[in-house]
Amino acid sequence: MTDPLPLASADAAGSWLQDPVHLAFLREDAARQAGFFARSLRADGGFDLLDLDGTPLPRGPQELHTTTRMVHSFALARCHGIAGGEAVIDAGMAFLRDHHRDARHGGYLASAGAGGDGTKLAYGHMFVLLAAASAGLAGHPQADALLADVAEVLETRFWDAEAGLFRDEFTRDWQPFSDYRGMNANMHAAEAHLAAYEATGETVFLERAGRILKVFTARIAPRHGWRLPEHYTADWQVDPGYAGNPMFRPRGTTPGHSLELARLLLQHWDLTGRPGDAAPARARRLVAQAVEDAWRPDGGFAYTLDFGGGVDVADRYWWPVTEGIGVMAALIKLGGAEAEADEALYRRFWEFAAAHLVDHERGGWYPELDEAGRPAARQFTGKPDIYHSLQAVLFPPVPGLSRSTPPARAG
């Protein structure tokens, strides 16, 4: 193996976003990630989860978010000039149509295959919309049909027009089986709707993303010390005692989601013509609180906090660092009085990631670290997906704040 490229020029005086060495590092890591995760495609069109060295792990049912994130990631890579992912995109689109889509009741199954889960979750459907939008930007011939289908399901089954938010979960035949409402699915709804707007130009997607972002960043965050409670009751009151799946529905607040929502807020503000300065100010408050509360003395973000900002789950995962990189890149592009401080945080996040999370030899990022900063396997086995880490290397070089290059369908 050749030695990995340096993270940045030793004497980079300006922003790393203009440093040729840093940009080359980002391109190399994107290609390395794509090469690693392309091996997850099976002969039957499904996707294996991969161990740290790329060995397929024992199969279980295929999760909807696995299929859709593969489509989204490789379509996004194609938009950015990374070739070779066409087979992954085609297989993922076919798997969505032939295995996840419920031909009898409509919508998309949370997991498919032996032992699959027939529930219908807003979380997974948001990634269907994201995959369709990204595939459309990459010019896939089946993207429009997929986007139209999932948009109708979201409209008729999940959308709560009065709240301006999405309901979370139903049985296979669309019976509600809980009163749970969650921030996570709605955050990804904002992400997917912004992508759908970029792919189609249909303003309903932009408007709905704006409603979601307003609820969480203009109403809820200021009431809770600029931290974002994860879990809510049916009438959208905070449910402080709720604790579900430790990865997708942990108790308390998740600072990585504050970073993610801050980036999405800036993207929406940009796409709506940059009206005023309230949105960037809110984004900065979310970022500042997350960094103050959760950045560990030896680097990395604690996974969850209690409602007062104390660390609850101290484990350090890869994805909050990727979201920190993404939002700091967006803030750097805005310039202004805080540009130097923004640059310092961007570099801090990348220095930690390059030293502890990036697998420079095999590709992909290690998903979690132990107390000594070494790869661990408490919550995850292997490398669970490409989605967060690929965006961390593809978004910073884009001149604007939106997610894709070019802002139109690829030829």
- Distances from the Cα of 14 to the Cα of 103, 117, 225, angstroms: 54, 50, 34
Q: Mean pLDDT throughout 354-378? A: 93
Q: Mean pLDDT throughout 376-391? A: 93
Q: What is the pLDDT of residue 1?
A: 54
8 A C-beta contact, residue 130 and residue 209: no
Q: Which residues pair with 252 in a beta bridge?
A: none
Locate 4 and state its tokens: 């990995």
8 A C-beta contact, residue 252 and residue 312: yes
8 A C-beta contact, residue 199 and residue 191: no
Lowest mean pLDDT among 165-174, 336-345, 376-385: 376-385
Locate 331 and state its tokens: 């803030």
Catalytic residue, from 80, 231, 268, 388: name it: 388
* Distance (Å, whole) CA 227 – CA 214: 15
Q: Is the pLDDT of residue 406 over 60?
A: no
8 A C-beta contact, residue 132 and residue 77: no
CATH topology of domain 16-394: Glycosyltransferase (1.50.10)
257 noted as active-site residue: yes
Q: What is the pLDDT of residue 252?
A: 92
Residue-range domain boundaries for the chain: 16-394
Other CB atoms within 10 Å distance of the CB of residue 181? 24
Q: Mean pLDDT throughout 135-154? A: 97
pTM for this one? 0.96
The amino acid present at 229, given as its one-letter code, is P
Q: 249 in helix, strand or coil?
A: coil
Closest CA to 189 of 162, 171, 170, 216: 216
Tens digit of each residue's pLDDT (9 = 90 or more) over 27-78: 999 999 999 999 999 999 999 999 999 999 998 999 999 999 999 999 999 9
Q: Is the pLDDT of residue 371 over 50?
A: yes
8 A C-beta contact, residue 349 and residue 321: yes
Locate 220 and state its tokens: 């809820």
Catalytic residue, from 65, 188, 257, 268: name it: 257
